[in-house]
Amino acid sequence: MSTRRSTPLRVAVLASGRGSNLQAVIDAIETGQVHAKIAAVISNKNDALALERARKHGIPDLFVNPKPFSGRPDGREAYDRALLETLTKYDVELVLLAGYMKIVTPILVKAYANRMMNIHPSLLPSFPGLDAQKKAIEWGCKLAGCTVHFVTEGVDEGPIILQAAVPILDGDTPETLADRILQEEHKIYPRAVQLFAEGRLRVEGRRVIVSGGDMPAAGAIISPV
Ligand code: GAR
């Protein structure tokens, strides 16, 4: 059964770049499809477009400079401790990694166990890591897609919440395929946030059980015929 919260879920988005997934979540909140509030957008890149998108919507935009931490043996952990302080300060309940190009350490993963999501542009467990779309084309796959999953210590390895599939067409380049996948990302990420806000996600081992209501769509599987 879904649970209606009286207060919106407090979300933070960690992003390093363009921030189109952040924008999709902002739009879904503003149109009432997602019952959440973005408490802060945090970036490791000062010039991330994601920060500008946040500012336009009156959301606190925070650049946490990785420079002072680099070169230290515990630099990555110290950086994540600084992030954790910020997340705590903003009362964040759910963290979204959205094009966040930095590996999160156990400091954050443990503090936000089953409360931190990532979106990845492949049908995991195929093609974790960088250049997923290019690898899917080169492998000769007929389907590609995207995955929203909870974050665990292994990169792109956590329990899968939602996936959407798209065809790989003859003549696709990594860019054309990435665009087609991105359209699906923009649907499933807000949807996963809403399922979380409704208290409908339960993790059992590797499986995420979605309770109540209609089954979330696995995404459009479109025949190229
Ligand atoms: C998205 O395609 C996302 O899936 C990918 O980066 C892009 C960010 O776009 N993430 C990863 O590859 C993480 N492994 P956006 O900044 O426009 O949301």
The closest alpha carbon to 193, from 11, 2, 15, belongs to: 11
pLDDT at 191 over 50: yes
What spacing in Å lies between the alpha carbon of 1 and ligand 1's midpoint?
31
What spacing in Å lies between the alpha carbon of 100 and ligand 1's midpoint?
7
Buried b (16+ CB within 10 A) or exposed e, 68-98: ebeeeeeebebbbebbbebbeebebbbbbbb
**Can you tell me the mean pLDDT for 150-155?**
96
Q: Residue 214 — pLDDT band, cuts 50, 70, 90? A: low
Give pLDDT, residue 215: 57
CB 144 within 8 A of CB 166: yes
Q: Which atom of ligand 1 is nearest to the CA of 155?
A: 14
Give pLDDT, residue 223: 43
Q: Which atom of ligand 1 is nearest to the CA of 146?
A: 4
Q: Within the chain, what is the greatest distance between any pair of CA atoms?
A: 55
- Active site residue ranges: 120
Range with the lowest mean pLDDT among 2-6, 51-55, 86-90?
A: 2-6
| Chain segment 12-65, per-residue pLDDT in tens | 999 999 999 999 999 999 999 999 999 999 999 999 999 999 999 999 999 999
CB 151 within 8 A of CB 128: no
CB 117 within 8 A of CB 94: yes
Give pLDDT, residue 44: 98
Could you give the CA distance from residue 131 to residue 203 in angstroms, rounded to a whole number? 28
pLDDT at 225 over 90: no
pLDDT at 152 over 50: yes
